Amino acid sequence: MKTRHPCYIVAELPERIRSEVQAIRDDFASITATLPVEITLAGSSGLGPIPAGTDLSLIVAQVDAVFSAVCPFKVAFSRIASFPNTSIVYLTPLERTRFDELHDLLRHSEIPFSPSRFPYNPHCTLRAGSVLPPEEVDQLTHHAFPNAPFLIDTISVYDLDPTLIRCNLLHQTSLNAEQDAAANA
């Protein structure tokens, strides 16, 4: 089976944090409120999306292989920020090293990625879409946000129908909990 739309590889946020972030997205009322609550590992910056028409079995095999030895890890958000000269507002992780490592693993996989003109910046988008005045963007960056640590233990592959702005879950894999338990013993 070939993919119908561009695809993205993401780290899923667990339910408690996902609900809190979704509430902020709903407050910000932009098109991103309907998209999955996640931190993109490949597809938006650094590595562009996986092109439509890619063999899904290749993507699944590579994602499973890349993440088979990756342990779950803790994350916390440190602040709300915005990309310069845009109305894109996002949560930034306190520590980005693990995301950079996972992004690099994907870069060296056999998955084809489209180019991206932006360097990799791990983030969870809160708002994108219509342009806002800079003072309104600045106000959004001062919104309260969840800052308690949470565990990343699931990686997903979504496609994005750009016409309907709708994502479809294509594949999910769990990070190896046994290795994490041994490492923390």
State how many domains the chain has. Answer: 1
Examine the pLDDT at 80 and tell me if it is beyond 70. Answer: yes
Establish if 89 belongs to a structural domain: yes
Structure tokens belonging to residue 156 = 């997903």
Establish if 31 belongs to a structural domain: yes
Give residue for tokens 């005045």.
Answer: 133
Q: Give the model's pLDDT for residue 179.
A: 52
Using one digit for the tens of pLDDT, what is the confidence trace for 167-184? 999 999 999 856 544 444
| 3-class secondary structure, 91 | strand
Query: What is the pTM for the complete model shown?
Result: 0.91
Distance (Å, whole) CA 165 – CA 148: 30
Distant-in-sequence contacts of 75-80, Cβ < 8 A, 24+ apart: 75/39, 75/149, 75/150, 75/151, 75/152, 76/147, 76/148, 76/149, 76/150, 77/124, 77/145, 77/146, 77/147, 78/147, 79/141, 79/145, 80/126, 80/140, 80/141, 80/142, 80/143, 80/145
Contact (Cβ atoms closer than 8 angstroms) between residue 81 and residue 93: no
| 3-class secondary structure, 180 | helix
Establish if 72 belongs to a structural domain: yes
Residue 185 pLDDT class (50, 70, 90 cuts): very low
Instruction: State what percent of residues in the chain have pLDDT above 70.
Output: 95
Residue 39 pLDDT class (50, 70, 90 cuts): very high
Q: Tell me, what amino acid is at 157?
A: V
Domain membership of residue 110 as a residue range: 7-183
Q: Give the model's pLDDT for residue 178.
A: 61
Task: Decide which of 51 and 87 is more confident.
Answer: 51
Contact (Cβ atoms closer than 8 angstroms) between residue 74 and residue 39: no
Name, in order, each residue with C-beta under 8 angstroms of 145's C-beta and a sequence gap of 6 or more. 20, 21, 24, 77, 79, 80, 91
Average pLDDT rounded to a whole number, residues 92-112? 97
Task: Decide which of 179 and 53 is more confident.
Answer: 53
Q: Give the model's pLDDT for residue 149.
A: 97
Average pLDDT rounded to a whole number, residues 34-56? 96
Average pLDDT rounded to a whole number, residues 151-168? 94
Domain containing 92 — which CATH number? Answer: 3.90.1140.10
Establish if 63 belongs to a structural domain: yes
Establish if 2 belongs to a structural domain: no
Examine the pLDDT at 30 and tell me if it is beyond 90. Answer: no
Residue 46, by phi and psi: left (phi above 0), alpha (psi -120 to 50) or beta? left
Q: Give the model's pLDDT for residue 31.
A: 84
Task: Decide which of 177 and 28 is more confident.
Answer: 28
Using one digit for the tens of pLDDT, what is the confidence trace for 54-78? 999 999 999 999 999 999 999 999 9
Establish if 177 belongs to a structural domain: yes
